[in-house]
Structure formats: C-alpha cells, structure tokens
Amino acid sequence: MSFNRKTPLRLLTAITLVFLAVPTLGAQVLKPGLQPGLARAPDSARKISLYEAIRMAQQNSPQAIQAEGTERTSKAARVSAIGAILPSATLNAGRVIQFGGGQTRINQNGEQVAITSAPTNSTGLSLGMTLFDGGQRLYDLRTAKFNIVAAEANRVAVKYNVALQVKQQYYAVLAAIESWDAAELQMAQAQEQFKTSVAKVRAGVATRSDSLRGVVQIGNAQLALITAQTNKEAADAALTRLVGSEVPVTVDPASIQENMAALPDSAELAALAKRGPAVEQAQAVVDAAEEARKASKATYLPSLSANYSRTGSGIDPRFGLGTDPFSYNGRLSFSLSYPVFNNFLREEQVVRARVAEVNAQAALRDSQLAAQQSLTQYIGALRGASQRVAVQVASVAAAEEDVRVQQQRYNIGASVLLDLITSQAALAQAEQALIQARYDYRIARAQLEALIGRDLQ
C-alpha cells in the first residue's frame, strides 16, 4: 500500500480515537448558541405584540405621517375655498406728521418761526366681494371636497400598506424563531445520536464511520443554528426600524393566534375589493378632475365684483374716540370685467383640465382591474398556502414517527446510521416546508386585508 493511500486512513483512525477517548468533546466545542471567537449576548429585545407593532409603525412611519399631512392640507384648502366665497375685510389706521411747508409766524419775542401742522390720524374699513365669476369658486369648493376624499382614502391605503409591511417583517421574525427552535431540536438530536454512535463503536457493534457521521451531523446542526440566530437578529433589527422604536424589539409568539377560518365568499371579497382604498382614491381623483374641468370653462364668462370702503380722518390722537371726532365718508363701487383675449391661456387651461380628467379615468379603470387581479392572486395564494400547511403538518408528524422508528431500529442494530440520518434530513426539510407554508399563509392573508382595507376576522 502506498503512502498516499495510508495517510487518509490513519487520519480517519486518529479522529475516531479522539472522539472515542473524549466522547463529550464534540458537544463541548459545538455548544448551541456559541461560535468560536464570537460570544453572543442574550436576547434583550423587548417583546411586542403584532397589534402594538402595527400601532407604533402607523404613528412613526414617514409614509403615514406624510399621508396625515396631506389630509390636513386638503382640509385647509377646503376652508380656503369656503373663504373665497365670503367677502374680504380690511381694517387700517394711520398717522401723518407733516414738517415744514414754508409757512412761518412771529412769536411773542418778535422772532420768525416755522408753523408745524398737527398730526393727522385716519381709520378705515374696506370690504370686497366677487359677486359672480362664472361659478369657478363653487367648482373650486367641490374640487377641494373631492381632494379631501382622495386624501382620506390615501391615508387608509397607507395605513394598511404600513400594516402589511409590519406583518411581513413580524412574520419573518416569527419564522426565524421557528427555524431557530427547529435548529436547536436538530442539534439535540445530533448530539444524542453522536453519543449513541460512540457507545456502539466502543461496544464493537458499529463501525467508526458512524461516529464520524455523527460529527458531521453536529456540524451541520451547528451551522443551521447559527444561520437561524443570524436571521433572527437581522429580522429583529428590521422590525425595530419599521416600528420606529428607540430600543430593540422582537415578536411575542404568544400573541399570535392562527385564524384558519373560512374566508368570505368570492363575491363578497370582490365587492370589498371594488371599494378598496386604492379604488376609492382613484374615484375621488376622477371627481376632482371633473370639477377642475368645469372650473376651467368659467374663465369664458365675465366676473362682477363689489367694493365698499369707509374712511375717516382728523387730529384726534385717540383716532376719533376722543372729544374731536373724525369726519367719515363712504364709497361703494362695482366692477365688471371680461377678458376678450388673453393669448389663448384659457384654451390651454381647458385642454390641460380635459387631459387630467382622461388620465384620472384611465387610472381609475386600471385601479379597478388591478384590484380584481390582486384579489384573484391573493385568494389563490391563501388557499394554496392553507392546503400546504395542512399537508406539511401531516408530513412533519409522519417524519417524526419515521425518525423515532429508525432511531429504535438503529439502537438495536436493525438498521444502519445512514437510514437514521436520511430520516432526520427528511424531518428537517418537512419542518422548514411547514414554516414556509405558515409564513406564506400569513402574508397572503395580510395582503388581502391591505387590498380590501379592513381586517379579516
């Protein structure tokens, strides 16, 4: 036998003897939760429920804050449109002090001095109102009303979109925790299997390759555990940012109550989708565009305005409230204006308003079709995920029973270690498939809730 063929055999023999001499070495080095050179701190993140996470995100999310600001400015615009119908009022008061003027007089000493005029004070009230403008102010008021409806629908849509983002991340953390639990179970099984294989090798009823396979299984379990821990930490950090918390947060698995109850029928869901936040917002935009188009035609009509002013002046330092009252006079005026030609600006405004209305109608139609498309996708994904959950639950139960049987067969020598490892690998795959199916079901349900703008009980 050549040197190259002996060297791998001697190496395997040495590794096997090391684990035979120190059976707990693998368990000590590959302790769950530790990695060479890295000491992981205990999980100190604050547990929050899903409801609390959504509430915090809806308060701190920049999207939600911006949507609320848009709604407030829309309401302020409506108040301004109402004010445009009412007359404007202005109060004014002033004082005039005049120096010089060229007039002089002789004082008691026979000296010539300049005459200084007494200060003149004035007060006034001005009222102005547009009596007729072709109905533009009324159209502006109706436009502001529909803009508020659109802003409210946008706020609801943003609210459920933020809730969807929180649910996606919350369920991602929950899936990471479930994967962590599965990895810890895999580590415990690998360590127990390694101890059994070492004992059987010592007793001479198993080959040395069984103990080496046990080392490989422990290593794989350790890698799975580290991956699950890393995924959870990253998911916790993303959730903390999403909810806007100053301290690290994580999920509270006890607050999750799986609701696999039957959904409303397709006709009811379709009706809810047609009244969803996105469709309502698009409809309000169409209504506002229609009023803006009507307002653009008002510039072809004349406008009539009225103004009234009442002013008073005098030398009373108390502005007419003292012993020397002011003399007042009033003035009422009417003005009629009609732009005969304004360089085709009116025509441009009408065209722009019509184009905006056509675009809004197209967006509404697309929004309705998109709601139907999304509804079909989400219902299909939800039903498919529900069936997958049921199938994977049965698969996990069958895989657990298979592992139990193979473990007993291996303990009594009726099967080899490879059969047991194959069963354990099948169990790990079934558990991961179940975790993914649960995650997909939760996400599909959250997407459906965001589409219709209400929670599914």
CATH of the domain at 287: 1.20.1600.10
Alpha carbons within 13 A on the beta-carbon side of 269: 23
Q: What's the structural domain count of the chain?
A: 1
Asked if 156 and 277 count as a contact pair (C-beta separation under 8 A), the reply is yes
Q: Return the pLDDT at 65.
A: 92
Residue 1 counted as domain residue: no
Q: Return the pLDDT at 121.
A: 82
Asked if 61 and 161 count as a contact pair (C-beta separation under 8 A), the reply is no
Backbone φ and ψ for 321, nearest 5 degrees, come out as -95, 0
Residue 229 counted as domain residue: yes
Residue 207 counted as domain residue: yes
Alpha-carbon Rg for the chain in angstroms: 41
Q: Return the pLDDT at 30.
A: 35
Q: Return the pLDDT at 170.
A: 92
Q: Residue 167 sits in which domain range? A: 8-86+133-302+338-452
Nearest to 234 by CA among 256, 255, 250: 250
Residue 262 counted as domain residue: yes
Residue 356 counted as domain residue: yes
Q: Return the pLDDT at 228.
A: 87
Residue 108 counted as domain residue: no
Q: Return the pLDDT at 1.
A: 40
Integer Cα distance of 74 and 106 in angstroms: 69
Residue 171 counted as domain residue: yes
Integer Cα distance of 184 and 353 in angstroms: 64
Residue 127 counted as domain residue: no
First to last CA, the chain: 74
In order along the chain (457 residues), what is the average pLDDT of each group of 10 residues?
Answer: 44 43 38 37 75 91 91 92 90 78 65 68 89 87 89 88 91 89 83 77 70 79 87 91 91 78 77 88 90 87 91 76 77 89 88 94 94 91 89 91 84 77 86 90 88 82
pTM: 0.71
Q: Return the pLDDT at 14.
A: 44
Backbone φ and ψ for 51, nearest 5 degrees, come out as -60, -45
